[in-house]
Homo-oligomer: A and B are copies of this chain.
Amino acid sequence: MINAAITLLRKKGLKPTQQRLAIYQALMTSRDHPHAQKIYRKVRKKHVTISLNTVYNTLEAFKRAGLIGSVKVLHDESARYDPTVDPHNHIVCMKCKKVTDLFEKKLLRIPTPSEIGGEFKIMGYRVEFFGYCRVCAGASP
């Protein structure tokens, strides 16, 4: 609901502008970790004059507020945005670049390698699988 989004943005100190609400909706209803460009095209259907820069600014503001996440995967240059902030990992198709969530709990409890010793203060880690999705595995290389 739109009012919930307004309240949420206000709570984070972000003015709930039309643009921000549209971008928030666009990302939250995505299951494919879209690029900024894709969100831009989606939002522009209603907000014809929105600028790509605003999309970037808004997504970064959402990220700083902890409302969304972002993913950078191998085999794909540009940044993807993630409506899910709960800890999870990803698997990427090396051909079509589709990024799929992995909520497997075992991946969230990997012990810190003793090899690291006292050399690093660990803040986190990520696991990224790569391979071919069902569609691409069946197609020609």
In A57-106, the 8 Å CB interface with B consists of: 72, 74, 91, 93-94, 100, 102-104, 106
Chain A interface residue count, Cβ-Cβ cutoff 8 angstroms: 36
Q: Is the CB of A56 closer than 8 A to any CB of chain B?
A: no
* Cα distance A104–B110 in the bound complex, in angstroms: 12
Number of copies: 2
Known: A74-B126, A118-B134. 18 other contacts (CB 8 A): A91-B116, A91-B122, A94-B123, A100-B120, A102-B115, A103-B115, A104-B115, A106-B111, A106-B113, A110-B127, A116-B129, A119-B133, A124-B131, A125-B128, A125-B130, A126-B127, A126-B128, A128-B128
